[in-house]
Structure 1
Amino acid sequence: MKEIKAISLERMNNGAHYLYMSTMLSRAESHGKLPVKAAEPLAALRTAVEEEDRCLAVSRKSLLTDDIRKADHERDVLFGAYKNAVRSYLSLPEGKLSQAARELDQHLTDYRIDPREQLDKETGLLVNFLADLETRYAAQVATLSLSPFVTGLKEVNERLRRLTRDRTYERMTLEPGALARARKASDAAYRLLVRWVNALALLDNEADYAEFIDYVNTEVVHYKREVLGQRAKAPSASAEQPDGRTEAGETPAHPSAEQDNTDVDDGI
């Protein structure tokens, strides 16, 4: 009798686990009879995979990260341009312009802002730095016509403050261990579907489910070999039990290839 063989879902890394689950869901939903005959386990798997997708997306990378990186680069360019503009006036003969430049250059030295520093540290320093330029050093800034630099720096620095705050709030929506729990829910739903399909093949008409079973078993062998690093037999010769127990003969070929990342919720 054809039956779907078991695989150690817990040993898969997070990315491979989600891909496996979403692939199985898609294949089952496109099957001619399963959406009707196995509606209950399919609905459970669909819900579980959607939640796993949400948790994985938030844990791996906030969509705001690219915006933050872009704004940080823009800020660094503007700050460098401001610094170069100030120092370009230092070579002028004594006068109002060179005096203003010396005072602003000393201001730069006092803060010692390094664009290579941690992002939040740089943001905080620039808040005070720019406040000085708008108050204590407003006259010097006006003398050297540097207001566009100050305005641009303030705008991008405030934008970074908003983006990093929003990213923090976004991360707060993902509770610790949420991805691990989502994976377990997907595992339970998938195993329910496997038992359901195996029962249908036994009690209904095996031929109606043969292609789906063969497809899943081929994927099982692929994931065992490529993801789990196990020596897996061809689907037709599998010695594994459908309840999840594995008979002798399928030991990991490369233990280091196994990755249990079920508790890893952050990828940033």
Structure 2
Amino acid sequence: MYTKWRAKAKGASAAAAAAAGAAAAAAPTEAAAAAPTAAAAAARARCTASSTLQQFVAAAAAAAAAAANAARAAAPRDISAAADETALQQQQQQQQQQQQQQQLQRKESIYEVEAAASHLVQQAQQQQEDQQHNGSHTVATAAAAAAADIAAAAAAAAEATAAAAEADCALYRHSSALWEEARGSVSNAKRISGSGSLQQQQQQQQQQQQQQQLSLPLLLYLSFPAFASIYFSLFACCKPPAAATAAAAAAATAAAAAAANAQGPHPGSALDASL
């Protein structure tokens, strides 16, 4: 599309140059009649190229807006996504303002060139009408001057067309840069949202592991009294009564000896020790 637009711009410049040559070579009447036609053709070609580029820029802006909307719908509503959304909106507003300013500048330049060409044509016609009464020599001189003025106007129109083409090229490059920047912002938003969900999954897994590690010791601690009571009940049931009595007597004797040792020596301690 950009190559076709460039070819159209070159064709408009060539047409303007050809019109200038034809105006210089033709008679005064033919030059005055052909100059508005050539200027109008160049203006139409330039407007066609500008409208084609504007359509391309509008399509790129619409695609960028659609990508930004899709990214905002997919990403979570957090601070980073809100910041990316605000930045994209600001970029779109700046792009629209620049496009409007450039369109106004191109329209003003086109109107100025057309007004200058029409003014020169009117001057040439007026000079031709005035000089028809003064003789053939004066008419020839005026025709040459008019042809030179028309050639200068055609050259100015060609320069204006080239300037408009350069402005359109700059607009195309700026739009491409904004498009790439918007794509990078959308990729960053997707990456940030993906990293946030991964961190949440890792935290959930760590919490589950900690709960599992704490639940096993707690279960053992709570079930210890029940296991102890069951163990002692089984031990008491299985042990013979005589053995239990002897064990109780031995425990009582050991307790008494410990108490005596704690109180110190007293009369009859030897007897107690023998017992």
Higher helix share: 2
What is the TM-score of this pair, normalised by structure 1? 0.29
Q: Which has the larger radius of gyration?
A: 2
Work out which structure has the larger RCO, using CA pairs closer than 8 Å and 6 or more positions apart in sequence: 1
